[in-house]
Structure 1
Amino acid sequence: MTDWSGRRVLITGGLGFIGSNLAHRLVEHGAEVTLLDALLPHLGGKRANVADIAEEVRVVEGDVRDESLVADLVADSDVVYHCAAQNDRAHAGRQPQMDVDINAKGTVTVLDAAAASDPAPRVVYTSSLAVYGRPETNPVDESTPARPMDLYGANKRASEHYCRIYHEQEGVPTTVCRLANGYGPRAPIEKGYGVQGTFVAKALRDEIIEVFEPGDMIRDIVYIEDVVDALETLGTHDAVLGEEFVLGSGDPTELLALAETIVEIAGIGRVELVPWPEEWTKIDRGDVYCDPSKLESTIDWHPRTDLETGLRETINFYREHREEYLDQ
């Protein structure tokens, strides 16, 4: 366990899925945590996500696009986890300027503030496997060509380049982490088509889980506690500076099988195959899962949670916190 006592940590997007779970861990390990979140309605950030640590964190409701605010917060930090993102791929196509502003310009705002600080804080950037677009082969790793096929993936890839440039030219200690499909407690449950929370929520509400035909699309599903294990180490390990990593379970999971497993564990809900909506057909990435060997060998990290165990933990969480999440 890393001792974070006395370390000042800023998490952008800190009321979202990744940021709030990371905040719980870092508070537990002694960090002084500040959470910046704009609470934009379609992105899944909720104050309920940190209700049980509300007295132990500082919450700043503000936007990563606010240069002055970000500069002040970054200057007062030892480590910055830049998790803030417009993370809806379909929304990126409908609102391209907003996606550029948050996912590209927002990253530059954070990095520029870090470069202006003395000393510059470490910056860990949470990217996405979406940077690979539709990969020709699987599993993907750090050597796989990044050819994003939508605006969301393109802006995440641009931010990866910004991290590299600020590291090489401005001396900002950056690390890029390309996340697979995370799931677990505090995941957004009202967002379009996704496995992070919507499948679980629909099952627990005894609704139909709609899976796009024929249901054999493959994704890399990784439990949030395993993600947090890796992110915590990426914030302290010197060997990761200036590097890019993929972070996932390394296991391919078919979405139809995932939905059926959720219904089986929950004991409620049902699954139905449906045609692909036109909006999603244009940005279908096909199958994608990753090989996290580089991360495993660099920081001695390994995913510890099998899918069934993680789903049981997730379902139990939402049952225990139904009023805060499912009954809204």
Structure 2
Amino acid sequence: MTKRSPDDDVWSELAAMGLLGLLVPEQYGGAGAGLVEVGVVAEELGRVLYAGPYLSTAVLAVNLLLAAADPAQCEAVLPSIAAGRTRVAVAFAEGTSTRPPGTPATTARGAAAPLISGEKRFVLDADTADLLYVLADAEDGPGIFAVDPAGPGVVVEPLTSIDTSRRLCVVRLSDAPATPVGSAGGTALTNALDRSAVALLGEQAGAARFAMEMARDYAKTRYQFGRAIGSFQAVKHMCADMLLEAESAVSAARHVAAAGTDDAAGWAADLALAQAYCSDAFVFVGATNIQVHGGIGFTWEHPAHRYLRRARSDAHLFGSPSWHRERYLQEIGT
């Protein structure tokens, strides 16, 4: 049974609209849609800084199951995700990095009935998950294992982060019973993270555009010295810079979604560069939005700070901008 959370009503609405099953194949009760459709939904969720587990469950978990190619797990989990009955968290990061380790310190002992031990950090939405997929090192190399978060040997603790709308957790496992998922292991996870990053880009682009619009509207209606502050050259320049960054982020996110759908050559390089750009653009727009709002922008009561908090969080969720730039250079052979 899913833990009760404030977004349950919205979650049920998303399920009724078919949005939780966008990526789920039709044979499992979903829409069988692709990256472009998910990107459109992500933009709208980003505009309102949706705090539910859409990215972790409806995107990352689904992509991981499809990449792992485990028919039994797909049959058991995907229909339940599409119907909104099951929430899933994917635990892969360790230490201070938000990327999957090459050789996880988390281990799986035993082939027939694996027991998982280790600590995973920055696990998105683990505190409301019904199921965990954990990256662990086994005898034949890294693999994905299904773990019951309410089962023995599992402790989930929320992390305190700058962005309260992103629920990040620490998951500690001590001989936790597990079930192997597929055979692709780390390869499946990397593939799933890449495809899920398209949704993260959409969220960043949508949120950046909304923050820009927030600043624009304020600049048109806030009067100082007898005129709208948007008529002052300094404010005009800030708004113009925000427009450039926000619209470029939207273009980058949509390009990557379309290229990924078509399996275009060089897609991995485009994705890496877009992840770096959209992260920086969202942070810039979020910070500049606060500047345009002046004194009120720094108050807790005004929502401007929430967009900067989400921007800072998103910029490191699937790897830092510098990590993505390094990957881009590797992809183009530099």
For the superposition of Structure 1 and Structure 2, which TM-score range results when normalised by the shorter chain?
A: 0.3 to 0.5
TM-score normalised by the chain length of structure 1 = 0.35
Name whichever structure is richer in helix by fraction: 2
Larger Rg: 2
